[in-house]
Amino acid sequence: MKEPEHEKIRNDKATVRLPMLLGITLAAGMLIGATFFGGGKSLNNIGRGYSKFKEVLQLIENNYVDSVNTDDLVDYSIAKMLEKLDPHTTYMNPQDAVAARTQLEGGFDGIGVEFNIYKDTVYVVTPMAGGPSETAGILSGDKIIKVDNTEMTGSKLDNALVFKKLRGKKGTEVKLMVLRKGEKKPLLFTVQRDRIPTYSVDAAYMVDDKTGYIKVNRFSETTYDEFKKALGTLKQKGMTQMVLDLRNNPGGYMDRATSLADEFISGDKLLVYTDGKDDRYDRQTKARIAGQFEDGPVIVLMDEGSASASEIVAGALQDQDRALIVGRRSFGKGLVQMPVMLSDGSELRLTISRYYTPSGRSIQKPYVAGHSEDYEKELEARSKSGEYYVADSIKNNEKYKFKTAGGRTVFGAGGITPDVFVPRDTLFMTKYLIQLFNKNIVREQAMEYANDHRKQLEKDGFASYKKNFVVTDAMLKRLTDDASAQGIKFNEAEYKRSKKYIQTQLKAYIAQYAWRQGHRDGLNNEFFEMLSEGDETYKKALTLFDRARLLEKGGYASHK
């Protein structure tokens, strides 16, 4: 189950590492073996080090007092060695490499359900439209209690176990035992696994009769094709100005990012260039196509979770004075990695160059080799300095001052600084709220409501729901009672602080569960339309199109 981006309430260690794992490659970066090493310098100068390492490993294997796993020692040695380099050069064992690549592939083999673990039980949130589970008869709200011969209940149940049991090779079968509301006995289903597409465009809808909104969650294999389709659809609906949401987008394939940027930038203007020690990895990427939206004001939403390929897009559009950047300073990853598959299936992602925006600025934030923990805590340091809340807390280094095509001042060496700052809203964040999400209570309450009232919701339609539906106090009482029954002590003061946010979340999830199943293109428009009601950055952006239009027409004055 892929958790929606907005649910990442805290920047934990895994969240901070995400840009390191996903912001990975050049368009032609899949070079391995002889291509990677061929034509380079002689290996003689590293021969002595290799011989020493092999000698030590053999001594351990043959003479050490206890039995050891030399494969683990090798993995550890490589990982420690790479710590002497930059924070984004990484090594992954075969299992982690497969998991990381899956994030950027266009799909996986499985049964096609979104699930939720609630009260130590797997609930089907929704079967994918046209997917194998829907075909077999699986319904929203079904409890999966057994997969083949494995019980799917209990305290040891987690996402990893569910993935392991439900995913598998296309064409293979899996037997599910299901409990369904209204049925006295368990139901048995045989589902044939198939290729399940994954999507990187979360939403694409018209805000009003002229304003379009597109949210991109990462730059994967299919991102550009998805984006082109979404852009074309919105233009047909009359879009003349748009919001591109790249918040919490950790990056991905560089060529998909430049292709997306090319849809907005005319002529043969520079989009990005790379520079490394080896000239083979130096290249310039320029606009080359007649894009679908080269005219019309554009606003790009960014935050501290926007990294790598996201920063390439934002940097190109900002430096060419094509878009107004709104939000908070981005992550600051300006190093390009080339993935090299090793003989055992493990993978080395080696930094081969730096990328630079059209004005010549590097987005990479400062780091000290061997101090990865300090690098990972940089986002936390921003919070402590007040940067997330006060625009003047952003401390750009005057040494890295650059000019856009129209002469506006921009800064490098630390992410993309927005043209218009919008502070982070954390007033609603409480321990009580975090406990609700950790137990999946909000989602479960929404799913139950959507399933119980599905016919009425579908009859009324989403437009009526958006305008008229209100999350009542009775619905909230049911939620807090459920939380108490699961051991979450009610805290009235924290509940009042979080109440509005909880209402927005409930309304958004009910909309998702009521209407998403009808989307075969992966879009989750109803969900994000409802979230926008409490999204201050989104609402601020919609007031800035006059400024974005002025920028597009040559009004290049700098803005704080």
Which amino acid, 506? L
State whether 230 and 247 are in the same domain.
Answer: yes
Q: Which residue has the higher pLDDT, 257 or 2?
A: 257
Instruction: Show the domain range for 180.
Output: 107-197
pLDDT digits (tens, 9 = 90+) for 338-388: 999 999 999 999 999 999 999 999 999 999 988 888 898 999 999 999 999
How many CA within 13 A on the CB side of residue 460?
A: 16
317 plus 360 within the same structural domain: yes
Residue tagged active-site, from 220, 308, 330, 362: 308
Instruction: Indicate if 212 and 149 belong to the same structural domain.
Output: no
Partners of 335 in beta bridges: 354
Question: What angle (nearest 5°) sits at the alpha carbon of residue 263, between those of residues 257 and 267?
Answer: 110
Show the beta-strand stretches assigned E in 131-282.
143-147, 150-151, 173-179, 187-192, 194-197, 201-206, 211-216, 241-245, 270-275
Same domain, yes or no, for 460 and 351? no
Residue 539 lies in a domain: no
CA–CA gap between residue 510 and residue 449 (Å, rounded): 7
Measured distance CA(313)–CA(335) in Å, rounded: 15
Could you tell me if 139 and 221 lie in one domain?
no
Give 493-523 pLDDT, tens digit per residue.
999 999 999 999 999 999 999 998 667 788 9
Active site residue 52: no
Domain shared by 211 and 176, yes or no: no
Distance, CA of 339 to CA of 30 (rounded, Å): 6
Same domain? 321 vs 347: yes
Give domain status of residue 214, yes or no: yes
Mean pLDDT for the chain?
89
Q: What is the pLDDT at residue 557?
A: 63
Report the C-alpha gap between 361 and 401 in whole angstroms: 8
Token output for 244? 């591109």
User: Active-site residue 333, yes or no?
Assistant: yes
Of 364, 389, 421, the position where a domain reaches its end is 421
Does any domain span residue 20?
Answer: no
Write the single-letter amino acid at 472.
T
Select which of 319, 419, 482, 535 is catalytic.
319
Same domain, 180 and 229: no
For the question of residue 393 being annotated catalytic, the response is no
Answer with the one of 180, 197, 214 that is the final residue of a domain: 197
The active-site residue out of 333, 365, 439, 507 is: 333
β-bridge pairing 241-245 and 298-302: parallel
pTM assigned to the model: 0.88
**How does residue 103 score in pLDDT terms, banded at 50, 70 and 90?**
confident
Residues 367 and 262 in one domain: yes
Same domain flag for 176 and 278: no
Our count of domains for the chain comes to 3
Identify whether 555 is part of a domain: no
Residue 5 has pLDDT above 60, yes or no: no
User: Does 476 map to a domain?
Assistant: yes
- What confidence score (pLDDT) does residue 100 get? 83
Smallest CA-to-CA distance from 101 within 218, 235, 248 is with 218
- 287 and 257 in contact (C-beta within 8 Å)? no
**What CATH number is given to the structural domain containing 299?**
3.90.226.10
Give the pLDDT band of residue 126 (cuts 50, 70, 90).
confident
Query: Pick from 133, 165, 197: which residue ends a domain?
Result: 197
Pair (189, 276) in one structural domain: no
Q: What is the CATH number of the domain that holds 183?
A: 2.30.42.10
In 3-state terms the chain splits into helix, strand, coil percentages (rounded to 5) of 40, 20, 40
In the chain, % of residues over pLDDT 90: 75
Whether residues 231 and 286 fall in one domain: yes
